[in-house]
Structure 1
């Protein structure tokens, strides 16, 4: 199962989409856009899991596809 995550950058001015705890794939200005992109990637690569973090890097939601 592939693991995707949406997490803030160092100063919380953008949001990264990461795959399998590797280097971030993309940086987005808005959290909602990053979540949308991560959902799309997770759905295209089922089975997969998406973790969404808040600005304090705490997981606030997990989704399974």
Structure 2
């Protein structure tokens, strides 16, 4: 199962989509844009898991595809 996550960068100025918690594969200015794209990527790579974090690095949503 592939794992994807949406996290803020260390300054919380941009949002990153990470695959397998490694290097970012996409970067966005807005969290909503990052979440939308991450959901598309996770759905295209089933079976997969998506974890979405807030600016404080708290898990706010987890989805399985």
Q: TM-score, length-normalised on structure 1?
A: 0.97
Using the alignment, how far apart are the partners of 2:56 and 2:38 within structure 1? Answer: 19
Give the number of aligned pairs: 65
Query: Which 5+ residue runs of structure 1 have no aligned equivalent?
Result: none
Tell me the residue number matched to 1:33: 33
Query: Which 5+ residue runs of structure 2 have no aligned equivalent?
Result: none
Coordinate RMSD, CA, aligned: 0.5
Tell me the residue number matched to 2:18: 18
